[in-house]
Structure 1
Amino acid sequence: MAKTYESILPAHEAFITRQRVFFVGSAPLSEEGNVNISPKGYDSFRILSTNEVAYLDLTGSGNETSAHITENGRMTIMFMAFEGAPMILRLYGRAEVILPNTSEWHELAPHFDMLPGARQIIRAKIDTVKTSCGFSIPFYTYEGERDTLVQWTNNKSDEEIKAYRKKKNTHSMDGILTPIGKQVQK
């Protein structure tokens, strides 16, 4: 049965901290735009308070979430149990992008073990927490983290990473400018 809450309860926090992967959903304002669902891994998610969370976002082949939340702020984060009792937990709220070398970055960065390729922190104010059964989600066993992204990043110079982000992370696939794109234009 689905249940709705106004904040993250201790049982929710315990569930979230056991999960090894989460998914981020966002969409542009345009109805012709693409809805984005992005999987996230590593130890990159933090609960800052009962109504505030953040995750360390790493360099990737796109930057859809950043573009969408810069345009309209809307974001959903979903966790689901692959082991143990079934459950799906969604956090609904409004998010913002925090770039390196800003006061907000320096405030939030100590919450994370900085991973190679960290490009931004996404912080969200949560207004609704929703749990549902997850009865149809299969069991999967965690075998370990993939190190492919870390290796890829470690094999690039700072200049190569900047060039990659300029090419791949400045606009969404719908053409929305990201904060990285705004920074590159300066």
Structure 2
Amino acid sequence: MGKVYEELTDRLRSFIAEQPVYFVATAPESGGHVNVSPKGYPDTFAVLDNTTVAYLDLDGSGVETIAHIRDNGRITIMFCAFSGKPNIVRLYGTGTIITPEEPEFAELITKFGPHPGVRSIIVITCDRITDSCGFAVPFMTFQKDRMLLDEQKGRKDAQGQRAYKAKNNRESIDGLPGLRADETEPIHQHS
């Protein structure tokens, strides 16, 4: 049976910290495509306080999460146990996009491990925290993080990064605004 929590307990915090992958889900307000993104690199997620979490938003192939949050703020984060006791934790809430030029960015970036290609930090104020059984989630063994995203971002020169961001980060697949050009600079933002 699932349980609803008022805040992130020590047990939930420990569970979150142990997971090598988490999933981010958002959707536009009216129609359009629901987006679910897997996120690796456990050092890209941080619990800020009892009801606030954040994750490091790295350059990627699209900008759905940012566009959806700007459209309506809604976001859900899900963690699943692929080893040990079965469990699923979901954090429902309202997201805020913190881009590199915003004053709070400098302090928030210290909460994460080193990664190139940082676009923004997504801060989530949780209004519902739940866990459930996860009985049907399979056992899987974690081998290691794929470092391809970090490696790819480290290889692109400034002009290549600007072109990539202009093509892939300006609007969602449904045409919602993503990141403006001034929000993706400095292009070599590194955590």
Q: Give the 5 Å matches for 1:36-185.
A: 36-42=35-41, 43-180=43-180, 183=183
1:183 to partner: Cα distance: 4.1
Percent identity, aligned pairs only, is 45
After TM superposition, the score normalised by the length of structure 2 is: 0.92
**Are 2:101 and 2:183, in contact at CA under 8 Å, matched by a contact in 1?**
no
Q: RMSD in angstroms over aligned alpha carbons?
A: 1.3
Q: Which residue of 2 aligns with 1:34?
A: 33
1:112 to partner: Cα distance: 1.3
1:104 to partner: Cα distance: 1.7
1:133 to partner: Cα distance: 0.3
Greater Cα offset, 117-126 or 107-116: 107-116
> What SS does the aligned partner of 1:164 have?
helix
After TM superposition, the score normalised by the length of structure 1 is: 0.94
- Give a deviation string over 1:93-133, Cα, whole Å, max 9, x none: 00011111220211211111230111110001011101100
Distance in 2 between residues matched to 1:93 and 1:3, nearest whole Å: 17
Distance in 2 between residues matched to 1:183 and 1:58, nearest whole Å: 13
**Are 2:80 and 2:89, in contact at CA under 8 Å, matched by a contact in 1?**
yes
Distance in 2 between residues matched to 1:118 and 1:47, nearest whole Å: 19
1:180 to partner: Cα distance: 3.5
